[in-house]
Structure 1
Amino acid sequence: MIEAARNIDTTGGKTFQYQDKLPNLPIPDLKNTIQRYLTAVKPIQTPQEYEKTKAAAELFLNNEGPKLQDELKKYATDKMSYIEEFWYDAYLQTTDPVVLNLNPFFLLEDDPTPQRNDQVVRAASLICSTLTFIEALRAKTLEPDVFRGTPLCMSQFTRLFATSRVPTDNGCYIAPAEESRHIVVMARSQCYHFEVFDENGAVVMNEKEIASNLRAIIHDATQVPVTDIAKNAIGVLTTENRRNWARLRTELQQDPVNNDALQVVDKALFVVCLDHVTPSTIEDLSTNMLCGTYKLDHGLQVGTCTNRWYDKLQIIVCKNGSAGINFEHTGVDGHTVLRYVSDIYTDTILRFAKTINSQTKSIFHSHNSQDNAPGRRGSAASATSQGFDSNPRRLEWRMTPKVTMGVRFAETRLSDLILQNEVKVLEFNNYGKYFITDMKMSPDAFVQMAFQAAYYGLYGKCESTYEPAMTKTYLHGRTEAIRSCTDDSVNFVETYFSSASDSDKLETLRKALKAHTALTRECAKGQGHDRHLYAMECLWDRTHIGEKKPLIFTDPGWKTMSHTVISTSNCGNPALRLFGFGPVVSDGFGIGYIIKEDGIAFVASSKHRQTERYLATLEAYLLDVQGMLMKEKYPGGLSQRQRLLAMEEAHEMINGYSYFDNGDVASDTSSHTSNSSSSVTRKVGKRLVLREN
């Protein structure tokens, strides 16, 4: 399933200069893994349940475990990562829709230049910066990621662009198109495409030319009758159950015209979704970026939910210029997409600065000033005669009865899915990283304990909680699971909601923070229990077919641990306003958060589990703890001058953001191939006539 992605070159150049120096992800000692597992599962079990789980774990350690550990080590001898293939299979073998289940979203901050907060101008600007990023990545001049002096693996960037998740009857696979030269744009659920790179791999369209294409696309899309928008929305099939999508895709491919159109989308660098709406609330805006909007007009779906292609990276731009990213999660994690988003957001600002001062430099070494270049349309010879056609073309689909019904039912099932979930936002502005650090506490651990306290305050119990720790300091590293609910966190929340004194509450909080920070460090070193045990279970299923499974994997404790009720992820920097994803279990919460300098942004989703009330409880806790901390630090009260001095003291302690300071936690220690054929894709679809600006 992943062989095609592995064949992409990740050697040489500045970008991949550290790849051959990165160590392999270590396989932890089995005894330590079992102890970590028992430590993690104990707080979410009754004493009786825990004793059964402990017995199953000890049985595994003394029987099947050591042999399976040896088998895993042998399996990993020729692998870049012992978990990678199993991890890909976990994503690619699922049959559930990817929307709301796998794909996260980022909401970008508004462009600081007001004139760019227009849909066409903002989209053209983001496209232009993205093309420059891709050009630098392909030239291997993109700066490599480094965290606190330690290089990070850059392999995920080869799967960010020009790849597609393709469904089959036996699971999905990732299809790369390394020579891709075009992008796909969606407007009112119609698909368009145009070329942006020439045959030599150089960007050949400037920002104004891209904007001209986008205007032509929007004009053409508005001519489509409302009654026909959802009928021809092939993109909605990517929201289907993966087996249904595979079946309908096979039906589409029977027609050469449809097959060519599918190839155009699959091989595109990325997809741009131009939405015809301006969401009125921050919740509506977040929902739009996560799963699109639901809106009916005389029983017909006219929301943005059909204006998507979830098998690829999507740049989404609303009518008012609000922009975000929705990405296919199989091959990339949040910190990789964060780097990309940070770079293009910075580049859009620097390109504007260059119009004021021509000496302003780009952050990309391969930058060729395409924003000021004349472009192919400005040359004497026509673009078409040079073998390059930059005019947009609309993809036209031949709808068979099966495909027509498939699109209809996919839309109604998607609409059900959207209505079954809710998204709520809390932009907490009372304090953030500065204040928490000034209190000598870890910001991320502080927020994780807030999640525990809010859930306990609402439901009176603790549940399995997940936070990803980044393991990209290792070759092909992804993440390890931090299980935030610990004995210390349980002790803290029980103390917090008791009649104990404030000093006792803060003492147990600090102890819980210390435990979480230590756990985070271990996980970032690859010394967690989740990935190790999961790899062992997968290896057993693959090599011991027909044999009775070890009790540790059938014991209820394993299911309890894997049933993540509170799934969280910390990913952000000043380029992002919000970040979120759907719940991973039916009775759970999905919480994306960004710890900012003077605030914390939360996006919580659930299947209508009092999400707003949970965030209200979270906010009340954050304010209450702030009061306790201020009272402890300033027992005699806080004057206005002291407040100002405290703020200045906090600011001096922070040296600003790096890409990963507030992203997923990192360690602070040292078969299906697809070659793009532009000559084929260039002429697919109806060519649009450009309109004057």
Structure 2
Amino acid sequence: MAEAHQAVAFQFTVGPDGIDLQLSHEALRQIYLSGLHSWKKRFIRFKNGVMTGVYPGSPAGFTFVVVSYMSYNRYYQLDPSRGILTKLGEYLPISQYMSSDSQKIVGGVLVGTGLWVSIIMVMRNVLKCLLSWHGWMSQRHGSVPYTTHLWMLLVRIFSGRKPMLYSFQNSLPRLPVPSVKDTCRRYLESVRPLMEDEQFERMKGLAKDFEKNLGPRLQWYLKLKSWWASNYVSDWWEEYIYLRGRSPIMVNSNYYAMDFLYVFPTSIQAARAGNAIHAIMLYRRKLDRAQIKPIYLLANKVPLCSAQWERMFNTTRTPGVETGKWRAHGCSSCPQTPYLMLLHTIPMCSAQYERMFNTSRVPGVDTDTLMHVNESKHIVVYHKGRYYKVGMFYDGRLLLPREIEQQMERILADTSEPLPGEEKLAALTAGDRTPWAKARKSYFSRGKNKQSLDIIEKAAFFVTLDDTEQRYDANNPVKSLDVYAKCLLHGKCYDRWFDKSFNLIVFKNGSMGLNAEHSWADAPIIGHLWEHVLSMDPVKLGYTQDGHCNGEPHQNMPGPQRLQWDIPSSSLTVARNLASDVDCHIIPFSTFGKGLIKKCRTSPDAFIQIALQLAHYKDKGKFCLTYEASMTRLFREGRTETVRSCTMETCAFVRSMIRDETREERLKLLKVAADKHQKMYQLAMTGKGIDRHLFCLYVVSKYLGEDSAFLKEVLSEPWRLSTSQTPLQQVELFDLIKHPEYASSGGGFGPVADDGYGVSYIILGENLINFHISSKHSSPETDSHRFGGHIKQAMMDILDLFQLEKKEK
């Protein structure tokens, strides 16, 4: 759609009078501004790299150390170089080039710089040692020890004053390798409720044999890797769990995030896309400039009595305010504010943010790869079977929301037909990976196909202007949300580029959502971006009264560029079969939320996880191996660990709810189960989980050509209940007390096992919990709607045990 003459900077013709150059001053101006923008970006990256590399040092600190050192030596009439230049002068004719005063200045600067670097290294290593201690997680029921007070103070001191996003990367500890003995013991403990006595004794024998024979040998190699690599798990996890998978990533790997549940800022598709794209690009700019604050742990798993934190910082006590040093968060011991959140104290790894933009998964015959480019100035938009390249910069600046809306309007107004095979091209990214890899090599390695594919893969992100309408309908809440979720998870199977780091989907009626590829990062990373977009869109950017973006269209801006293709057949059949098999169900559970759960003196996450176990038992009449995702970003390049939520203690409580037990006995078992779950979560967060360790031991065994019956059986066990909590990370962006309508719907993912359930949940404010449930229609054992009914009933049954109404009376 772009004008042909705008594609070149100059034209020339050859005539009798010579060569006549016809320069396009506008094109040359844009080239100049584009180059200027690129150099500014390079300079900012260089500066941020330097600042991050010397953190917790700073230029001001360098000046202070050097000047102080020079002043000290001058006052005491000492040689600032401590004899270094004198010694060096024996071999080099320094005196010929520098006077004695110059030598003193140079020597002082050199030694002062060395002193400054030494201080930085000391502070960095002290901070790493401090962050390696996780004793604060297990302190409960009583006063906070003075050692913890001192630890917190030291962390604050050695963390520096103004950290950037990546400032703490070199100070984070490495993920520790658990002992084989502890891992085997905890594994056996986790599967005990799922096995009969004879089966358990057999597994116990396999574990004992592994622990004595092959295990120590594999462990030696793993420890060697942990000393050498930044993280002994992450690279293998990314390669073998994600990139080497040959099945479709649609449904099986990619996940989705939804729009506001109740708010519809505008019904104009192009306008909603304009604000959302602009907000995303603003986030990318902040990310490139490292202006995003470091991500700190909101430690809502830290149970400390609220009576102590009142006096800990008596000048900064701000309950419920994000800027406070401490904040209460509901729990299991104190009646009002028993859980403590350590805010702005414990940094988490930010490595996953590096590949959020300009990233695409490239298919391979045996294994995929992740392609990331440092800079991309365009996005790719899909609409009704056609692909468009849309530049995000003009006149050396980022396009404004109304200008982006203008570009979207041009795409929506285009009535041209898709090229042969173009409409369903993206189905290649939805099917099996090996056929896509072969097709890419055969048909996309040259010519216009290669050029168009490069434009997609090097785009900042992918946008779909969907021609369907999706939205929460209060008159038909169940069906509207279920269809909405399925559309975000897979769409038509050919209108999402599933290989891109994420797809922004904007529907015809102005609703929107995300579909994200999983290998480059975990859900909290894309969730951080999505929170930024939702907070910017209706409030900070806003819309005019008629629903358009604020501002004016640009009269001279070139239009989007239509991509050209010569397309082979696609993998649409495989993708459609997979998509039609997905059974999605969303429950906006508003009967009660975190507020009432806190009154029960129970961790909200433990409460929900136990309710899921009760619901699953009622649904299938049995327990199953349960996966709950936990993060390990307290360590460098950490990703996730598994919390095996189906424990002996939880099973005992569930059986008490089925049998005729007294209320007091059920409450007692519930407390034991909640405490056990909390302990398991803490172990997973602090690098003492079992599943990533077992996975890495298995990888080492394959490299060594050793077969282990124990590891083979452990790694083949299916996760029939896979769960994950979607955290609300930037609480300060959403005041759900004053504006409950800005509650997000959260996000979800497909089932991990063919006969299992996938459950994602998000706790919003005090009175809302959204559940996203998925399963497969092809399994006679599962039904997402049936399971959703059991979840709602299980939540109510557990709450009834506490008899809160009688207590209030």
Query: Residue type of the partner of 1:251?
Result: S
1:389-400 mapped onto 2 (5 Å cutoff)? 390-399=558-567
Determine if the alignment matches structure 1 residue 193 to structure 2 residue 383: no
Cα separation, 2, equivalents of 1:433 and 1:58: 43
Q: Is the 8 A contact 1:11 1:17 kept in 2?
A: no
The 3-state SS of whatever aligns with 1:27 is coil
Q: 2:455 is matched with which residue? A: 264
Q: 1:553 aligns with which of 699, 711, 722?
A: 711
Q: 1:309 is matched with which residue? A: 497
| Residues 370-424 of structure 1, C-alpha deviations (whole Å, 9 max, x = no match) | x98889x46xxx66xxxxxx5211112113xxx1xx22xx122211111112111
Q: 1:651 is matched with which residue? A: none
Cα separation, 2, equivalents of 1:522 and 1:316: 38
Q: Is the 8 A contact 1:181 1:198 kept in 2?
A: no
| Residues 262-302 of structure 1, C-alpha deviations (whole Å, 9 max, x = no match) | 0000000000111111136110001111111xxxxxxxxxx
Cα separation, 2, equivalents of 1:212 and 1:372: 12
Q: 1:355 to 1:116 in 2, by over 3 A?
A: closer
The 3-state SS of whatever aligns with 1:422 is strand
Q: 2:700 is matched with which residue? A: 539
Determine if the alignment matches structure 1 residue 68 to structure 2 residue 262: no
Determine if the alignment matches structure 1 residue 209 to structure 2 residue 403: yes
Q: 2:417 is matched with which residue? A: 224
Query: Residue type of the partner of 1:521?
Result: Q
Determine if the alignment matches structure 1 residue 515 to structure 2 residue 676: yes
| Structure 1 unaligned spans of 5+ | 1-6, 293-303, 357-370, 384-389, 643-693
Q: 1:285 is matched with which residue? A: 484
Cα separation, 1, equivalents of 2:727 and 2:465: 24
Cα separation, 2, equivalents of 1:480 and 1:611: 26
Q: Is the 8 A contact 1:110 1:322 kept in 2?
A: no
Cα separation, 2, equivalents of 1:10 and 1:336: 21
Cα separation, 2, equivalents of 1:203 and 1:465: 49
Q: 1:187 to 1:10 in 2, by over 3 A?
A: farther
Determine if the alignment matches structure 1 residue 155 to structure 2 residue 313: no
Determine if the alignment matches structure 1 residue 91 to structure 2 residue 260: no
How many residue pairs get matched? 576
Q: 2:619 is matched with which residue? A: 458
Q: Is the 8 A contact 2:583 2:783 kept in 1?
A: no
The 3-state SS of whatever aligns with 1:140 is coil
Q: Is the 8 A contact 2:542 2:550 kept in 1?
A: no
Q: 1:82 aligns with which of 232, 252, 259?
A: 232
Give the alignment's Cα RMSD to 1 decimal.
2.4
Q: 1:169 aligns with which of 351, 365, 377?
A: 365
Query: Residue type of the partner of 1:305?
Result: C
Cα separation, 1, equivalents of 2:265 and 2:233: 47
The 3-state SS of whatever aligns with 2:398 is coil
Cα separation, 2, equivalents of 1:419 and 1:606: 11
Please say which structure displays the higher CA radius of gyration.
2
Q: 1:11 to 1:624 in 2, by over 3 A?
A: farther
The 3-state SS of whatever aligns with 1:424 is strand
Identity, % of aligned pairs? 29
Give the TM-score normalised by the residue count of structure 1. 0.79
Q: 2:794 is matched with which residue? A: 621
Cα separation, 2, equivalents of 1:224 and 1:209: 25
Query: Residue type of the partner of 1:102?
Result: S
Q: Is the 8 A contact 1:464 1:565 kept in 2?
A: yes
Q: 1:428 to 1:569 in 2, by over 3 A?
A: same
User: 1:72 Cα shift?
Assistant: 0.7
1:90-109 mapped onto 2 (5 Å cutoff)? 90-109=241-260
Cα separation, 2, equivalents of 1:372 and 1:456: 53
Q: 2:35 is matched with which residue? A: none
Q: 1:647 is matched with which residue? A: none
User: 1:230 Cα shift?
Assistant: 6.8
Determine if the alignment matches structure 1 residue 20 to structure 2 residue 20: no
| Residues 615-644 of structure 1, C-alpha deviations (whole Å, 9 max, x = no match) | 111111212222222x2x4447x6xxx5xx
| Residues 95-120 of structure 1, C-alpha deviations (whole Å, 9 max, x = no match) | 000000000101021685x5534321
Q: 1:185 to 1:616 in 2, by over 3 A?
A: same
Determine if the alignment matches structure 1 residue 442 to structure 2 residue 442: no
Cα separation, 2, equivalents of 1:98 and 1:215: 31
Q: 1:567 is matched with which residue? A: 722
User: 1:17 Cα shift?
Assistant: 1.2
Q: 1:247 is matched with which residue? A: 438
Determine if the alignment matches structure 1 residue 612 to structure 2 residue 773: no
Q: 1:662 is matched with which residue? A: none
| Structure 2 unaligned spans of 5+ | 1-44, 53-163, 298-341, 472-479, 729-733, 735-742
User: 1:145 Cα shift?
Assistant: 0.7
Q: 2:198 is matched with which residue? A: 48
Query: Residue type of the partner of 1:335?
Result: P
Q: Is the 8 A contact 1:423 1:604 kept in 2?
A: yes
Q: Is the 8 A contact 1:189 1:229 kept in 2?
A: no
Q: 2:534 is matched with which residue? A: 345
1:276-675 mapped onto 2 (5 Å cutoff)? 276-279=467-470, 281-292=480-491, 304-312=492-500, 313-352=502-541, 377=554, 390-399=558-567, 403=568, 406-407=569-570, 410-542=571-703, 544-545=704-705, 547=706, 549-555=707-713, 557-560=714-717, 563-573=718-728, 576-596=744-764, 597-608=766-777, 609-629=782-802, 631=803, 633-635=804-806
The 3-state SS of whatever aligns with 2:368 is strand
Query: Residue type of the partner of 1:578?
Result: G
Q: Is the 8 A contact 1:135 1:203 kept in 2?
A: no
User: 1:350 Cα shift?
Assistant: 4.4
Query: Residue type of the partner of 1:445?
Result: A
Cα separation, 1, equivalents of 2:563 and 2:424: 11
Q: 2:208 aligns with which of 40, 55, 58?
A: 58
| Residues 550-573 of structure 1, C-alpha deviations (whole Å, 9 max, x = no match) | 231134x5533xx10000110043
Q: Is the 8 A contact 1:111 1:117 kept in 2?
A: no
Q: 1:82 to 1:208 in 2, by over 3 A?
A: same
Q: 1:318 to 1:374 in 2, by over 3 A?
A: closer
Query: Residue type of the partner of 1:212?
Result: Q
Q: 1:178 is matched with which residue? A: 374
The 3-state SS of whatever aligns with 2:759 is strand
Q: Is the 8 A contact 1:189 1:308 kept in 2?
A: no
Q: Is the 8 A contact 2:588 2:769 kept in 1?
A: yes
| Residues 188-235 of structure 1, C-alpha deviations (whole Å, 9 max, x = no match) | 132111111469xx6421111100100111122x5437xx79763211
Q: Is the 8 A contact 1:426 1:615 kept in 2?
A: yes
Q: Is the 8 A contact 2:379 2:459 kept in 1?
A: yes
User: 1:439 Cα shift?
Assistant: 1.1
Query: Residue type of the partner of 1:566?
Result: L
| Residues 472-500 of structure 1, C-alpha deviations (whole Å, 9 max, x = no match) | 11110101100000000110111111111
Cα separation, 2, equivalents of 1:248 and 1:69: 41
Q: Is the 8 A contact 2:269 2:507 kept in 1?
A: yes
Cα separation, 1, equivalents of 2:349 and 2:257: 22
Give the TM-score normalised by the residue count of structure 2. 0.68
The 3-state SS of whatever aligns with 1:577 is coil
Q: 1:488 to 1:10 in 2, by over 3 A?
A: farther
Cα separation, 2, equivalents of 1:411 and 1:524: 40
Cα separation, 1, equivalents of 2:516 and 2:423: 23
Q: 1:325 to 1:271 in 2, by over 3 A?
A: same
